[in-house]
C-alpha cells in the first residue's frame, strides 16, 4: 500500500510539474468551451437585404412595407439589379429580393383565381378537381460563399414573405420564393472548409514546427556554435524562412490535391493569386514563430506560447465556421487575428475567384504583420 501511495504521489507531482499536460487537461477544454460559447451565444446578426422593385405598384409597395416592418431584416432599396448583385458579391448586402414587372397583375389574378377556387369548393365541388392558382414569383439572390449568412437570409425572407402573403392575399400559398445564386457553382460546406484548413495548416506548421526547431537548436547549443562562425544572422534567418516557404507550398498543394481527388473541391480563382496568398500568409506566421522562439527560453515555453496564440485563431479566425454571429464586443479581436485575413484571402481566391486587387486589404494586413513581427524578432533574438 505504501508503494502504491508513493507511486501515486510521484505521478501527481510529475503531472503538476508538466505545464503542457496541465494546459491540455484543464485550460484547453475551458478555452474550447468559452470560444464556442462566445461565437454561438451572441445572437445572430440582422441580415442586410436589398430590394429591387421593378413593378412599382401599390401591391409591390405593400410587400416592401412588410419587409420594412420586420425586425429580423435591414432593408435597403436598390434601383438596379446589376448594382445590387455587385454589392452582394462585395459583401455589402446579404441578399437581394426582386419584385418583377407585372408582379401586381399576377398577384391580382392569383387572388381572383383563389377566390373562385374557394367558391367552387363551398359549392360542393370535389377539391381535387379544382386546380390551385399558380404562385406569384419573387426572386431572391444570395451568395452561397457566405454559408451561414445565406441560410439565415433565405430563412428570414421566407418567413417575412409568408407573413406578407397572408396579410396581402389572405392566403399563405400565393407567393413563391425562387432563389438564385450569384456564384457560378453552388458551394458546399467542404468548399468553405478547405481554404480555412489550408490557412490553419500554414499557421500551425510555422508556430509548432519552426518555433520549436529554433528553441531546440538553442537548447542544444547549435545556435551558440553558429554565433562564432562568420555566418550573419540574416543568412541563417533566410535559410530557415526559405525552408518553411517550400514546405508551406508543398503542404498547400497536397491539401488542394487531396480535396480535389476525394471531395471534388476546385480552385475557381487564379493559381498565381493563390500562390501569392500562401507566400504572404506563411511569411506572416513565420515571423510570429520567430518572435515566439526569440522570447522562449525552452521548448516547453515555446509550445505553451504557440498554443496560447493559435487556439483563439483556430476558433475565432473563421477556419471551421463563419464568425458572423459573434457578438459586437469580440469582433475587434477577430479583426486583429492574422489568421482571419489569411482565411478570408484563401476563400476569396478559391471559392469566389477574386483577383489580387480584390483581396489587397487582407494581403496588406498580412504584410504589416510580417514587418512588425520581423522587427520584434530581430530585437528579441538571442543566440544562447
Chain position carrying cell 441560410: 151
The model's pLDDT over 288-304, given as tens digits with 9 standing for 90+, comes to: 888 887 777 777 777 77
The model's pLDDT over 203-214, given as tens digits with 9 standing for 90+, comes to: 888 887 777 777
Q: How far apart are CA 232 and CA 210, in angstroms?
A: 19
Q: Is the pLDDT of residue 221 over 80?
A: no
20 or 306, greater pLDDT: 306
The model's pLDDT over 138-177, given as tens digits with 9 standing for 90+, comes to: 788 877 766 666 667 777 777 777 776 666 655 556 677 7
The model's pLDDT over 232-288, given as tens digits with 9 standing for 90+, comes to: 666 767 777 777 778 788 888 888 888 888 888 888 888 899 999 999 998 898 888
Q: How far apart are CA 72 and CA 159, in angstroms?
A: 10
Chain position carrying cell 487582407: 362
The arithmetic mean of pLDDT across residues 80-94, rounded, is: 78
The arithmetic mean of pLDDT across residues 307-334, rounded, is: 76
CB pairs under 8 A, 24+ apart, for 366-370?
A: 366/280, 366/281, 366/283, 366/284, 366/338, 366/341, 366/342, 367/280, 367/284, 369/284, 369/287, 369/288, 369/338, 370/280, 370/283, 370/284, 370/286, 370/287
Q: Identify the structural domains of the chain with CATH numbers, from first to last.
A: 48-181 (3.40.1710.10), 189-380 (no CATH)
Q: Is the dihedral of CA 265, 269, 272, 276 positive or negative?
A: negative
Coil vs helix vs strand at 45? coil
Model pLDDT, residue 363: 92
Band of pLDDT at residue 135, cut at 50, 70 and 90: confident
Largest CA distance in the chain: 104
Model pLDDT, residue 200: 86
pTM of this prediction exceeds 0.75 = no
Band of pLDDT at residue 21, cut at 50, 70 and 90: low
How many other C-beta atoms are found inside a 10 Å radius of the C-beta of residue 273?
22
Q: Is the pLDDT of residue 19 over 70?
A: no
Q: What 8-state DSSP symbol labels residue 48?
A: E
Amino acid at each position: 500500500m505504501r508503494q502504491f501511495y508513493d507511486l501515486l504521489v510521484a505521478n501527481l507531482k510529475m503531472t503538476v510539474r508538466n505545464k503542457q499536460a496541465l494546459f491540455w487537461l484543464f485550460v484547453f477544454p475551458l478555452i474550447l468551451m468559452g470560444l464556442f460559447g462566445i461565437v454561438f451565444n451572441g445572437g445572430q446578426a440582422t441580415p442586410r437585404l436589398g430590394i429591387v422593385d421593378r413593378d412599382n405598384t401599390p401591391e409591390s409597395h405593400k410587400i416592401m412595407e412588410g419587409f420594412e416592418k420586420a425586425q429580423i431584416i435591414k432593408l435597403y432599396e436598390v434601383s438596379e439589379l446589376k448594382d445590387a448583385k455587385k454589392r452582394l458579391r462585395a459583401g455589402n448586402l446579404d441578399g437581394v429580393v426582386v419584385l418583377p414587372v407585372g408582379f401586381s397583375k399576377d398577384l391580382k389574378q392569383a387572388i381572383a383565381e383563389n377566390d373562385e377556387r374557394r367558391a367552387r369548393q363551398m359549392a360542393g365541388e370535389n377539391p381535387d378537381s379544382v386546380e390551385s392558382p399558380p404562385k406569384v414569383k419573387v426572386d431572391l439572390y444570395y451568395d452561397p460563399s457566405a454559408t451561414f449568412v445565406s441560410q439565415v437570409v433565405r430563412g428570414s425572407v421566407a418567413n417575412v414573405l409568408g407573413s406578407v402573403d397572408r396579410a396581402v392575399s389572405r392566403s399563405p400559398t400565393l407567393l413563391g420564393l425562387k432563389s438564385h445564386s450569384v456564384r457560378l457553382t453552388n458551394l458546399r460546406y467542404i468548399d468553405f472548409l478547405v481554404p480555412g484548413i489550408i490557412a490553419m495548416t500554414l499557421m500551425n506548421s510555422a508556430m509548432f514546427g519552426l518555433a520549436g526547431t529554433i528553441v531546440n537548436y538553442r537548447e542544444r547549443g547549435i545556435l551558440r556554435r553558429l554565433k562564432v562562425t562568420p555566418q550573419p544572422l540574416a543568412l541563417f534567418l533566410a535559410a530557415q524562412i526559405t525552408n518553411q516557404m517550400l514546405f508551406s507550398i508543398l503542404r498547400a498543394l497536397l491539401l488542394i490535391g487531396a480535396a480535389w481527388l476525394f471531395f471534388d473541391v476546385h480552385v475557381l480563382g487564379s493559381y498565381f493569386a493563390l500562390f501569392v496568398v500562401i507566400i504572404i500568409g506563411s511569411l506572416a506566421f513565420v515571423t510570429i514563430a520567430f518572435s515566439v522562439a526569440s522570447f522562449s527560453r525552452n521548448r516547453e515555453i515555446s509550445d505553451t506560447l504557440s498554443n496560447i496564440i493559435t487556439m483563439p485563431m483556430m476558433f475565432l479566425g473563421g477556419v471551421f465556421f463563419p464568425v458572423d454571429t459573434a457578438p459586437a464586443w469580440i469582433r475587434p479581436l477577430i479583426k486583429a487575428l492574422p489568421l482571419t485575413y489569411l482565411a478570408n484571402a484563401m476563400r476569396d481566391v478559391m471559392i469566389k475567384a477574386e483577383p489580387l486587387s480584390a483581396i489587397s486589404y487582407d494581403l496588406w494586413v498580412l504584410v504589416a504583420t510580417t514587418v512588425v513581427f520581423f522587427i520584434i524578432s530581430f530585437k528579441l533574438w538571442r543566440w544562447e
